[in-house]
Structure 1
């Protein structure tokens, strides 16, 4: 049954669903959709722009939140939409830029290997499927994962240095040979030194929030890819977008990525790529295609859970 409830300022529609009365506010729904559409637009821009991270858009939204008309929770909805859409689209510049020469295929990222094989369109579809599975599982995972993390987080927080150290050790020890282990350990130490030297700096920036993170994100996520792309021979001719991986495998890897991303959304210092690597170790690995699906699932789930805490 649909009835109308009137007040001096607003008209609400009341819908009885299985004995539960749900109040609908059409003007608020339209406003919420407008905020979500704005978030989709921002996520599209950040996802397709090399070096522009979703957190850059989050800084913009945070700085403008006080002057935006409407309830603050709608700004949060726009922020969530920005992050989720970004995770669907950031694979496009990741695959299109920084593709190495064929002679360097052994050192290419899993997604780049697919591009070098002419399977770039398939990689885009695999990424979208992984992110889609994560979105579908985010709702049923929300309550159990949140309850579990609330229960264990005090212990996790107290032992966070040990947890992060163990994750870094696993990543280094799972490299294929001693040289790669040394390079991995050096990269880890270099990133730690960068954070140690820069995170306490407070530059005179146009935005009052974010500090040094905005230039760090642009430099770390954008500059290396663009510089590497200067020396590449371009993207080779691509074949059709047919997915060669079995649907059941895609669903399984996407589900593993979604669960892992939901958990690491509560763990500071663990990125989506790191979580995907650990997840693939747990399921036995599935090559470049498995990495693309799992990473996309982790990335999207991580974005959803990290922004809804």
Structure 2
């Protein structure tokens, strides 16, 4: 029991670090835990390591909103939340954006629990009948996004070019060899598509961000619950279907007619709920089907799996800890946004380039440059950056349809 408790607190700490530091993902730390598994087993035991991985994964889904909000830096799971969260921060509502996201993640965990039970009961009998339809679902989602955009031709062009870049990056990802071996190619790919364009905009900005204030949430409780349910179901889809990611869930949540204006607070709730639900329901997919949806699940599956009830309990405690830590950290907006944003943007830009060099080597730098060039196009064409998600959606669609292999 002592090893389990110690593993829980160690996992919460690692989740906070992964969430707060741009460019570090919980999957990266999970890989490091796997590499250090022998001494960790001695200290924490098998159950303690398993609890550590799960608590780290859940806390990360709460804390990763902070770089997106305060610095405009993307994360592979919440990449489409960058602009709504960062824009709210620039308008003086950074603390609210973080609190709204934390509430979304918390409700996402609550609403995913009944779905977790359904997964455990029904997935083994129905999975083989739905695997073939994943590519068609992505094709439908992409088509709706493009057709209902205000500039379908530009939207299609960005989706297609970013998709081809994603195929190229994933096909030759074994070239992304850095200091610690083969790195996660999504780091430079998504950083260039979503992060660096935002940072370059910040560096060119002439006006300072608005004074950070917080006088309550500008979103109703009913809207929070409704969008939390919607996000939990989106997270269930990507936690169930092979090849999907939280980023794809966010793209699905963004599908709506162009005449319907997307409320940034509602979108933050739904995407944060999807992110957390996807992480938790990945456990159900592992236990019910033996399928590993993330790097954290791959690491967890390398050990003897403990009771699923223990890990669900650990996930619940981690969700509460992640919520409290994230809400407490939301006040950092009043400090960070008082600093010179151009200097911060330059510093973060150098940090991300350095992370790419360290983890992904020269090939990662090439992908970073190419993806940045593509990522600048939406701003010039005045279309949403969501169409850059073609970098994920197109490769996954072609792979699940059997057209492409990696």
Shorter chain as denominator, the TM-score bin is: 0.7 to 0.9
> What residue number does 1:131 align with?
105
Superposed, which structure 2 residues align to 1:12-27 within 5 Å?
none
Contact 1:43-1:82 within 8 A present in 2 as well: yes
Contact 1:46-1:53 within 8 A present in 2 as well: yes
> What residue number does 2:188 align with?
219
Match of 2:156 among 181, 187, 190: 181
> What residue number does 1:248 align with?
222
Relative to total residues, which structure has the larger helix share, 1 or 2?
A: 2
Relative to total residues, which structure has the larger strand share, 1 or 2?
A: 1
> What residue number does 2:199 align with?
229
Structure 1 residues 202 and 184: CA distance shift in structure 2, 3 A: closer
Q: CA deviation at 1:265?
A: 1.0
Structure 1 residues 33 and 152: CA distance shift in structure 2, 3 A: same
Structure 1, unmatched stretches of 5+, are: 1-27, 100-107
Contact 1:119-1:240 within 8 A present in 2 as well: yes
Q: CA deviation at 1:297?
A: 0.2
- Supply the distance in 2 between the matched residues of 1:304 and 1:202 (Cα, whole angstroms): 29
Contact 1:130-1:254 within 8 A present in 2 as well: yes
Task: Please state if 1:66 is matched with 2:38.
Answer: yes
- Supply the distance in 2 between the matched residues of 1:264 and 1:162 (Cα, whole angstroms): 14
- Supply the distance in 2 between the matched residues of 1:164 and 1:147 (Cα, whole angstroms): 26
- Supply the distance in 1 between the matched residues of 2:196 and 2:160 (Cα, whole angstroms): 24
Q: Secondary structure at the match of 2:218?
A: coil
Q: CA deviation at 1:294?
A: 0.5
Task: Please state if 1:302 is matched with 2:278.
Answer: yes
Structure 1 residues 250 and 81: CA distance shift in structure 2, 3 A: same
Task: Give the count of matched residue pairs.
Answer: 267
Match of 2:15 among 39, 43, 59: 43
Structure 1 residues 65 and 175: CA distance shift in structure 2, 3 A: farther
Q: Secondary structure at the match of 1:250?
A: helix
Contact 2:169-2:189 within 8 A present in 1 as well: no
Superposed, which structure 2 residues align to 1:154-233 within 5 Å?
154-178=128-152, 179-198=154-173, 200-201=174-175, 203=177, 206=180, 211-213=182-184, 216-222=185-191, 225=195, 228-232=198-202, 233=205
- Supply the distance in 2 between the matched residues of 1:300 and 1:217 (Cα, whole angstroms): 19
Structure 2, unmatched stretches of 5+, are: 74-81, 287-406
Contact 2:72-2:195 within 8 A present in 1 as well: yes
> What residue number does 1:274 align with?
248
- Supply the distance in 1 between the matched residues of 2:23 and 2:162 (Cα, whole angstroms): 20
Q: Which moved more, 1:277-286 or 1:85-94?
A: 277-286
